[in-house]
Amino acid sequence: MHSISKKAKKMSEIAEKVKAIIIDKLGVEESEVTPEASFTNDLGADSLDTVELIMEFEKEFNVSIPDDQAENIATVGQAISYLEEHAK
């Protein structure tokens, strides 16, 4: 049972860090950063912003996100899911 709560805590920490990075990089309000929010359509990011977000996620979570996979990370929820799966 203990390992489940530990994993849930890690998932929550990842989600909070992802949200903080997005708020910092895009200058949006916390209330706008929902799992279904699109970086470009909802949060106003351009292509350079999305590249910078991916780079920041890589740095913060010590992961390498291949370009073909980065192209599939278009929403807050997709970023959180990817990082929960791949973060070390």
Give the residue numbers marked as catalytic.
Answer: 46
Alpha carbons within 13 angstroms on the beta-carbon side of residue 11 total 10
Residue 35 and residue 75 in contact, taking contact as beta carbons nearer than 8 Å: yes
Tokens of 30: 């916390």
CA angle centred on 55, ends 23 and 29, rounded to 5°: 5
